[in-house]
Chain A
Amino acid sequence: MIKTHFKRDNHSLRDKILALDFLLIFSILLLGIISLFAMYSTEQGKLGYYTKSHLYRFFTFFILFIIISFFRIQVWFKSAYFFYFLVLALLFAVDLFGVTASGSKRWISLFFINLQPSELMKIALIIFLARFYYKIPTENLTNLKNIIVPFFAVFVPVLLVGAQPDLGTALLILIGGITVIWLTGLKLKIFLYSFLFGICLLPVGISFLKPYQKSRILTFLEPERDALGAGYQIIQSKIALGSGGIFGKGFLQGSQSYLDYLPEKHTDFIFTLFSEEFGFIGSLTLLLIYVLIIYRITAIGQNSRNNFAKLYCFGFAAAFFVYVAVNMSMVLGLLPIVGAPLPIMSYGGSSMLAVMIGLGIVMSCKIYQEDDIN
């Protein structure tokens, strides 16, 4: 009976292709195309560096995504720890020989590319925890070992990234990690205690914040406090969004971005640019694509037979959701500006690489959904 659970990889290439989740692929491609148009618009309708670079990356990483999905899920299961420690090593490397840009050390120069390991850690942590928890029975979750290991697995990278300093990414890693832990069935009580403990530590944490990070939080609470300084970004973002209206100002017509009022329009504020030009309808469409992606990831997890795939897919879906929700809430003025990219839409190689790797593993779960681990 158990034997039947352990099918070997006897999929032909044709089977693999047919087993792909085409709705997910369609959504990703659609998002990629929209992101290229948005990037084209940030360059005022010129086929410039950003658009080209974004196109090459999307193309390359999309192929990588397909390649990853054709590997057996066991391969990813087995390399989970290795992947995590590799990225962790890179994070330490960043701390030692990282490239400093605009006051924070986030990048590491690897021959021909500048990599941001903190972005990869988002995926690495999820896959690590999925492997760690997949066969631990619910009643054993509170064992000391089962508490200590995940605790360090989460907080070591979070602290490393937070110290870069990159508060946004650190929080996203933390939220992703906690979500996976919670999904495994750890009692709510423990989260509650940890949360209270965290609250107690908050003043200590605040004292570690850089002045600009403090000002961002204060600005979020009251954007008009410093309209030309820290509040400038959020006010200009709201002006751009709000002036878009129902149908938007039209492609390449977004005056806020075209005239450079919008900050960071390639990266964190790409949604604002898109929303200014395509309005409420456009924003809703974009949101729908993200919902579709998240839904497909969740569905793949649900249809997977093994708990590793389930945990991974649910965890990744949750993390993916968090990236989208945090970015949108941020540009809509619902959260402070923390620096969280919008998956695939935002310009940035590491972020896209991480998301595409994550999606590739999800797709691998889909193709090998009948497979079991061990």
Chain B
Amino acid sequence: MLSFSETFQSKSRTITRRMFILSSLKITIFIAIIVRLFYLQISENIKWRTLSDKNRLREWKTIPQRGIIEDYFGNKIAKNTQVFQLHMLPEDVPNIEELFFRLSKIIDFNKKTQTSLIRRMKKRKPWEPIIISDNLSWKEFSRLNLFLHEMQGIKPVVAVARQYLDEGSSSHIIGYVSEMSVKDLESSELLRSINAPGLKTGKNGLEKYLNEEMIGQPGLQRFEVNAYGKRIKELKLIQGVPGKNYRTTLDIEVQKFASELLKDKSGSICVMDIYTGDIIAMVSSPTYDANKFVHGISSKDWQNLINDDKKPLINKSISGTYPPGSTIKPLVALSALENDVISPKTTVECRGSIELYGHKYHCWKEKGHGFMRLREAIKQSCDIYFYEAARRLGIDRLAITANKFGLGNKVLDFLIEEKKGLVPTTKWKLRNIGKGWVLGETLLAGIGQGYFQATPIQLCLMSAQLANGGHKIEPKIIYNEKTSQFTSGIMRNQFEKLYRNKENVKFVLDAQFGANNEPMGTSYRSRHIKSEYIYAGKTGTSQIRSITAEERRLKIKQKDLPYKRRDHALFIAFAPYKNPKYAISIVIEHGGTGSSSAAPIAKKIIKKVLDRHQLRKKYHTNLLWDI
């Protein structure tokens, strides 16, 4: 019994001893834990606090207001407007099918958009708002608000979006903005640095050229977010800086008027101030509604645009190249005069055609013009005379003059869509075609056919530089206070001269007056009677293929030919004749002859432009620039 008690006691002692050992071990471990806590919470506190903030704070960029594009008079061509949008928070929608069904009764929301929406939804988190419609009509928006209380998870939003004039007269030159593409991001450092979701970028025209200036600086919203990226609350908001506004030299009234004149036609009208180089109008037809691109164009609209034979998406004023035809004759005449290969008194007999190495070269007038001097040859657009003039001049000397007056070079260097056109030379042919130049090609060049290619804006510039007395000007479309001064007459000496003998330029201008205002002139029927509108011009009809002998024999009229085979109608002019101010160029694709379809349009445009001249002048001195 006693031994039992003794073992009992000794066991108790063993247990107690070991308990103490264990207790000291516990204390050691607890101290280690405290040290670790101290290390994390006090020594390394700043490090972990930084990481904690990095976890919980997320910043979002807000899209800045894009700069506005105005015309010369301050009318907004591209502006920012309120749009009505419908956003949806998928996580708050109890029954998506029911919601879609109800929405389809209220707004334009068909099955196709529904399925694409569901596809988009699957790629996103349920708390990320998704845009159901980004451009609702006011009618839809107000009706939606009426039924809003019956639907959960949707939110009508008033947002800002780009808006263009919907008549579309300036769509080509202004261009449009649209969703950023990967390519846009790759090519622009600025876009990469902003990269705010929903940011639109300029795709073409001035919207592209001025994109980086017009975008502005994005604002910043700082949010506290949870582990799944959901925004919990806004902590900070920095407003963005709106982009720069731009005033252009365009006159939206003239733009609209010109666009209306070209309705149902395919072509271009350009109007330029002959001293300042201000482009008053630059219209391409047919046009398109740039607004459709802002919110993503529907595939049907897109197909319609790209399948249209008249190529509405192309800015024909700068990207369309046409043989200049007879509109180049004043320039050929000037070049020949300047190089003393002919004189105003040089006489050539026109019998309707000439022969060269067995090949026949025709005049547009089959019977021939008879004996022609230079002024009459320009006035009546005698081809035979200019074959002779070109033969004497040679292609390379003609090319020098043509280049000087603006052909073969880009007019508005900054627009990527612009084409250079082509002024052929012997060197060019050898290098690009690999064959030597032949004389026959010089003859064709003399009437603006053959390899010659010019854009409407080049023809306008050529006409302007002739009309201002042969001085070099800088065409522009963005208003510039310094160079847009009304310099007519006063500052002429400052311009670079493009001529050798002033009289030669005067002669050519006078001949254009004859063509437009004297009987037998090619555009006589489109003249103005009232003295203040009297203008001078030159028609052109450019063949897009050679006329076969068969057709010549049958005397097929232009209007009887299929559309695609008809000639382009061209016209260049300057107005008023006395003390000229504006130059214009008109191209009607497949329009038939210059005198029948282009010149009548010029008559109307010139009246419009001259009517607005006083207003423009006044507006300049007032210098309104206060948006």
Contact = CB atoms under 8 A, between A and B. Distances in A.
Given A242-B41, A246-B42, A2 B18 contact: no
A259 to B, nearest CB: 4
A284 B49 CA distance: 20
Q: How large is the interface on A (under 10, 10 to 19, 20 to 34, 35 or more residues)?
A: 35 or more
A150 B568 CA distance: 108
A266 to B, nearest CB: 15
A280 B34 CA distance: 9
A239 B14 contact: no
Interface in A279-306: 279-280, 283-284, 287, 291, 294, 298, 301-302
Contacts of B14: 138, 184-185
A259 B41 contact: no
B15 A185 contact: yes
Given A239-B51, A307-B11, A259 B26 contact: no
A280 B15 contact: no
Interface string A320-332: 0100010011001
A53 interface: no
Interface stretch (B67-75, B223-231, B255-263, B548-556): B223-231
Contacts, number: 136
Given A239-B55, A307-B12, A294 B40 contact: no
A369 B51 CA distance: 52
The residue among B12, B37, B225 with the most chain A CB atoms within 10 A of its own CB is B37
Contacts of B18: 182-183, 185, 314
B37 A259 contact: no
B15 A256 contact: no
Q: How large is the interface on B (under 10, 10 to 19, 20 to 34, 35 or more residues)?
A: 35 or more
B436 to A, nearest CB: 71
B303 interface: no
A236 B54 CA distance: 12
Contacts of A255: 52, 55-56, 224
A343 interface: no
Contacts of A298: 19, 23
Contact of A301 (B19, B37, B51, B224): B19
B34 A287 contact: yes
Interface centre among B7, B15, B16 (most CB of A within 10 A): B15
Interface string B219-249: 0000011111000100000000000000000
B565 interface: no
A242 B22 contact: no
B11 A185 contact: yes
B19 A238 contact: no
Nearest to A248: B41
B33 A259 contact: no
Nearest to A314: B19
A261 interface: yes
B52 A240 contact: yes
A99 B116 CA distance: 42
Nearest to A329: B33
A294 B26 contact: yes
A259 B232 contact: yes
A244 interface: yes
A311 B15 contact: yes
Interface in A179-214: 179, 182-185
Contacts of A329: 33, 36
A318 interface: yes
A265 B524 CA distance: 92
A284 B29 contact: no
Contact of B37 (A236, A239, A283, A311): A283
Contact of B49 (A135, A183, A245): A245
Top 9 A-B pairs, shortest CB-CB distance: A242-B48, A243-B52, A185-B14, A259-B226, A260-B227, A137-B7, A280-B41, A243-B49, A243-B48
Interface of B: 1, 5, 7-8, 10-12, 14-16, 18-19, 22-23, 26, 29-30, 32-34, 36-38, 40-42, 44-45, 47-49, 51-52, 55-56, 224-228, 232
Given A138-B11, A275-B41, A318-B26, 5 more contacts: A238-B48, A239-B51, A246-B41, A261-B227, A332-B37
5 contacts: A185-B15, A238-B40, A240-B52, A261-B227, A287-B33
